[in-house]
């Protein structure tokens, strides 16, 4: 082993010396260090050409909120992503070619919603590219479509789509942007003839330098290219997605490609990878870069996404290189994945060459980590990136430099990616001075990325964000300050495209308009068209907007929008929908897309081409919908307590919205009374009672609008819990709701029933609650010797029809059976059941013995199989084996000493309940008294 010589620069700051102790061990590896690795960095050797590291803005909407950040913080975030020597230093940027449809975290606008009308300023992707280019003039851009506008004829693989892509390239040119790479349809395979046609169209329109990437899916494209010379000639780069171990979001311990792909002569790109948290995903990110080359010969890596500049309730809320979800506060977070990326991008540029002989696995095993070496075109500089993310112990690498490469000072930078912390991210260590023969050693800790380099100019940004805070209420937007064709501040489209346009239907100024006139060619499932805005912490507020239906259809207001799962229709929250006919509803949706109607009714038709004011208000569990200042109805539901607001429509129309506002609710005392009266107030287990709730408005009060009442009863009560709706109650009048309940059967108790009335008075949502206690008692216990069929049941259940007294089970009505008969013997007293059945009788500890004769009734014709069990207070006291048709009758008895509740249970013996006519013949209880 060559002598290790590390020279610390004189007058080095103390913080550097402290970090050296933690990050670099010099010349004395621990006793249990991993096997040493010897690396010869020979400038005369080579490999494939490095094409750069990039990220993806798109797939979809994940950069949306960055556009609305304050200028200072926006510039800081962009610097961290693109500025050389500052942060991620990205060398490539993939841009979504918008198609007005959701492509994961939102819907990106098309430049051409309708055929022939092109808006080159649509969306924010060109703006983002401009910002990237301003910071790094050498950055290259890659365009890819996830969806496409619906006017395209012939599906995605059509001439119309090619024309659309040509138009998009023209828009990029208008913005001073050169697009170097263009793909087909994200993760939807390929049409070889279409790529050939696209190549010809690009050449004919002056885009010969644009290289085609295929197919942004899997390696199968390489096989088809090998069989089709024209297809092979059209495509310059083979790009695949998630080809490392674990796939989408996987661990990337190993990566793979195919022999056909490697032998194609084309660059192989990891054109989408990542899908990981900005911090915990950093180890997989660096593995996909280094091992992606070692295992699969991939020379470029694109992280999905660039940044999580999305509302935090959306999928992948912290996935990317950074998070920026609070534009009103300016707060953002730079993730460890930024610094893992910087460990490559700040030390090697596109056009550098991999040195295959100086790349491999540490100690010859992927469990120790991996390394790749790249050399500069001038043949002097080199950088070696080493990752120890799968290692468990320190290890030393011995390096020998030759072949014309610089043997001068080596600079060392490192990032702890396994335990991310800003203090240990992208830290410059002690310089190394190689020996005269170009040799040196480096001892590395587990869980790190190291870069040793002869280059200079690296750096770590120092900008810090302000603290986060919620978006303050009230919040209003008239859209009058926005230019036509732009997106309104803080609005994040989920499906369709909402842009500011001149108001229609006689209104002056600017309005928000849904622009997609027909259903797009979608990448993700269809849904209502909607856009979200606001703060996930908002709780009690009123969302109000003016709205105009351009065509017959349904408008939608969304409140307390919480978790959204994929696809976007799986949006948790409350929805107020109202159609041109006046039909309206308040719906609740969970994050699995299940919608429940809380209230439905109708009001005066809205019509089309006219403006109306819609509102949806939240005050605790009270949810109130209104139109043109009239309260339509109020429901009570406490499932979701906070969330964003939103606007939408249910069909592809060009409806408009104006004067969007979110205001905190005003709390004022209700001028009304609520009473709740149970009758009787004492009820036996399993018996019925009536509960009456009455809302009264005093003569001097104000009208109560949108009145509805609900009753909440503890578990065990059986009743219809649907809200009862009454509209308006005028002063001096009242509304009464009547509820029929069956008391619990489990045990005696003193439950509390809660009545709730929700309504609005003078525009203020109100909630009144009133409790009433009832007493659920046990029935009188039996005394003496009793036929069970003569006693009251606490409850009874049966597998077919009701449990019959003194006859067998017949049809579905009581009393339609035949005499109890087991194996030819008729019994005058007993219970006729059909499995699975349970008869519950209260004993109160007063009985000592139960006896019965059991069997399958002869009316089953010898069919059926069942079991009989006697349970006392839930414990089995006696049981039979399987009893079948025509079996002799069996005797069953049980000691009931101290038993409070008796259950007589007939089971189905595990084979279904057909013909299981189980008879309890002559069942008797012997009790005291």
DSSP state of 184: E
Element (H, E) at 428: strand 427-428
Residue pair 714/771 in contact by the 8 Å Cβ criterion: no
Count the Cβ atoms, other than its own, within 10 Å of residue 910.
Answer: 8
CA dist., res. 289 & res. 91, Å (int): 14
Q: Taking the CA atoms of the chain, what radius of gyration do you get in angstroms?
A: 37
CA dist., res. 693 & res. 713, Å (int): 13
Question: In sequence order, what are the residues at sequence separation of 6 or more whose Cβ sits closer than 8 angstroms to the Cβ of residue 897?
Answer: 848
CA dist., res. 691 & res. 678, Å (int): 4
Residue environment code for 458-484, b if the CB has 16+ CB neighbours within 10 A, otherwise e: bbbbeeebeeeeebebebebbbeebee
Three-state SS annotation for 350-376: CCCEECHHHCEEHHHCCCCCEEEEEEC
Q: 220 vs 238, 292, 779, CA distance in Å?
A: 10, 18, 74
Q: 619 vs 594, 614, 641, 767, 768, CA distance in Å?
A: 23, 17, 9, 8, 12
Of 458, 302, 285, 333, give the one whose Cα is nearest residue 77: 333
Q: 548 vs 473, 513, 554, 659, 752, CA distance in Å?
A: 25, 10, 10, 12, 47
Residue pair 498/514 in contact by the 8 Å Cβ criterion: yes
Question: In sequence order, what are the residues at sequence separation of 6 or more whose Cβ sits closer than 8 angstroms to the Cβ of residue 223?
Answer: 258, 260
Q: Which residues pair with 617 in a beta bridge?
A: 542, 624
**Residues marked as catalytic:** 187, 272
Residue pair 65/489 in contact by the 8 Å Cβ criterion: no
Distance of CA 37 to the CA centre of its chain: 44
CA dist., res. 892 & res. 691, Å (int): 43
CA dist., res. 479 & res. 108, Å (int): 20
Residue pair 29/396 in contact by the 8 Å Cβ criterion: yes
Residue environment code for 824-863, b if the CB has 16+ CB neighbours within 10 A, otherwise e: eeebebbbbbbbbbbbbbbbeebbeebbbbbbbbbbbeee
What sign does the CA torsion over 188, 192, 197, 202 have?
positive
What sign does the CA torsion over 6, 12, 18, 23 have?
negative
Q: Which residues pair with 820 in a beta bridge?
A: 827
Residue environment code for 679-709, b if the CB has 16+ CB neighbours within 10 A, otherwise e: eeeebbbbbebebbbbbbbeeebbbbbbbbb
The full DSSP string for 863-874 is --EEEEEEEETT
Coarse DSSP helix, strand, coil percentages of the chain, rounded to the nearest 5 percent: 15, 40, 45
The full DSSP string for 671-704 is --EEEEEEESSEEETT-EEEEEEEEE--TTS--E
Question: In sequence order, what are the residues at sequence separation of 6 or more whose Cβ sits closer than 8 angstroms to the Cβ of residue 15?
Answer: none
């Amino acid at each position: 082993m060559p002598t290790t010589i590390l020279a610390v620069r004189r007058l080095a700051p103390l913080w550097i010396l402290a970090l050296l102790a933690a990050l670099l061990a010099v010349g004395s590896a621990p006793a249990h260090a991993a096997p040493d690795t010897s690396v010869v960095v020979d400038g005369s050797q080579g490999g494939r050409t490095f094409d750069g590291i990039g990220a993806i803005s798109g797939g979809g909407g994940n950069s949306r909120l960055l556009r609305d950040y304050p200028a200072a913080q926006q510039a800081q975030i962009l610097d961290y992503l693109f500025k050389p020597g500052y942060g991620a230093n990205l060398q490539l940027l993939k841009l979504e070619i918008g198609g007005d449809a959701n492509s994961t975290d939102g819907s990106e606008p098309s430049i051409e919603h309708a055929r022939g009308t092109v808006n080159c300023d649509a969306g924010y992707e060109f703006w983002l590219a401009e910002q990237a280019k301003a910071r790094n003039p050498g950055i290259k851009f890659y365009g890819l479509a996830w969806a496409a506008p619906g006017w395209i004829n012939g599906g995605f693989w059509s001439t119309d789509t090619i024309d659309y892509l040509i138009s998009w390239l023209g828009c990029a040119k208008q913005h001073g942007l050169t697009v170097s790479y263009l793909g087909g349809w994200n993760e939807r395979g390929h049409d070889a003839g279409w790529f050939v046609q696209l190549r010809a169209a690009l050449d004919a329109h002056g885009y010969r330098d644009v290289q085609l990437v295929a197919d942004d899916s899997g390696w199968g494209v390489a096989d088809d290219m090998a069989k089709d010379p024209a297809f092979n000639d059209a495509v310059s780069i083979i790009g695949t997605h998630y080809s490392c171990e674990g796939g989408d979001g996987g661990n990337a311990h190993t990566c793979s490609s195919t022999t056909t792909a490697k032998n194609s002569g084309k660059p192989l790109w990891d054109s989408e990878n990542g899908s990981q948290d900005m911090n915990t995903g950093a180890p997989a990110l660096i593995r996909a870069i280094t091992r992606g080359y070692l295992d699969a010969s991939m020379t470029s890596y694109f992280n999905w996404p660039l940044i999580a500049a999305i509302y935090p309730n959306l999928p992948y809320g912290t996935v990317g290189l950074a998070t920026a979800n609070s534009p009103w506060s300016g707060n953002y977070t730079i993730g460890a994945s930024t610094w893992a990326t910087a460990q490559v991008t700040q030390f090697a540029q596109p056009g550098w060459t991999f040195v295959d002989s100086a790349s491999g696995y540490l100690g010859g095993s992927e469990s120790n980590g991996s390394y790749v070496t790249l050399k500069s075109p001038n043949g002097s500089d080199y950088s070696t990136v080493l990752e120890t993310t799968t290692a468990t112990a320190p290890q030393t690498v011995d390096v020998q430099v030759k072949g014309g490469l610089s043997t001068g000072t080596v600079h060392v930078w490192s990032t702890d990616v396994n335990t991310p912390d800003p203090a240990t991210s992208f830290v410059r260590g002690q310089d190394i001075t190689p020996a005269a023969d170009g040799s040196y050693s480096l001892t590395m800790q587990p869980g790190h990325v190291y870069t040793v380099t002869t280059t200079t100019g690296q750096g770590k940004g120092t900008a810090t964000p302000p603290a986060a805070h919620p978006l303050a209420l009230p919040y209003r937007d008239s859209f009058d300050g926005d230019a036509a064709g732009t997106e309104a501040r803080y609005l994040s489209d989920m499906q369709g495209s909402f842009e500011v346009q001149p108001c229609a239907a006689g209104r002056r100024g600017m309005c928000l308009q849904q622009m997609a006139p027909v259903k797009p060619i979608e990448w993700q499932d269809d849904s209502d068209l909607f856009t979200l805005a606001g703060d996930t912490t908002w709780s009690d507020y009123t969302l109000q907007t003016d709205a105009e239906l351009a065509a017959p259809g349904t408008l939608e207001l969304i409140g307390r929008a919480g978790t959204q799962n994929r696809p976007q229709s799986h949006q948790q929250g409350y929805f107020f929908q109202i159609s041109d006919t006046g039909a309206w509803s308040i719906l609740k949706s969970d994050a699995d897309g299940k919608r429940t109607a809380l209230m439905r009714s109708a009001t005066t038709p809205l019509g089309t081409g006219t403006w109306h004011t819609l509102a949806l208000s939240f005050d605790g569990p009270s949810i109130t919908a209104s139109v043109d200042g009239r309260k339509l109805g109020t429901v009570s539901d406490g499932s979701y307590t906070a969330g964003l607001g939103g606007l939408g429509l249910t069909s592809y129309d060009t409806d408009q919205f104006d004067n969007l506002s979110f205001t905190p609710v005003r709390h004022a005392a209700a001028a009304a009374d609520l009473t709740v009266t149970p009758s009787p107030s004492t009820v036996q287990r399993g018996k019925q009672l009536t509960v009456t709730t009455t809302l009264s408005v005093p003569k001097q009060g104000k009208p109560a609008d949108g009145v509805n009442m609900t009753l909440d009863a503890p578990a065990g009560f059986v009743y219809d819990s649907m809200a009862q709706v009454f509209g308006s109650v005028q002063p001096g009048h009242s509304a009464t709701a009547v509820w029929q309940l069956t008391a619990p059967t489990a045990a005696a108790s003193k439950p509390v029933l809660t009545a709730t009335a929700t309504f609005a008075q003078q525009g203020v949502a109100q909630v009144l609650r009133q409790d009433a206690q009832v007493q659920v008692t046990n029935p009188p216990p039996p005394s003496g010797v009793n036929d069970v069929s003569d006693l009251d049941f606490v409850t009874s259940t049966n597998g077919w029809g009701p449990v019959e007294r003194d006859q067998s089970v017949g049809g579905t009505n009581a009393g339609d059976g035949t005499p109890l008969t087991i194996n030819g013997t008729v019994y005058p007293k007993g219970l006729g059941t059909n499995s699975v059945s349970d008869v519950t009788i209260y004993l109160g500890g007063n009985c000592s013995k139960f006896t019965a004769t059991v069997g399958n009734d002869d009316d089953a014709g010898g069919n059926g199989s069942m079991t009989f069990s006697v349970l006392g207070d839930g414990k089995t006291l006696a049981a039979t084996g399987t009893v079948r048709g025509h079996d002799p009758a069996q005797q069953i008895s049980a000691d009931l000493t101290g038993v409070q509740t008796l259950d007589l249970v007939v089971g189905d013996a595990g084979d279904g309940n057909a013909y299981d006519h189980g008879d309890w013949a002559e069942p008797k209880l012997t009790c005291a008294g």
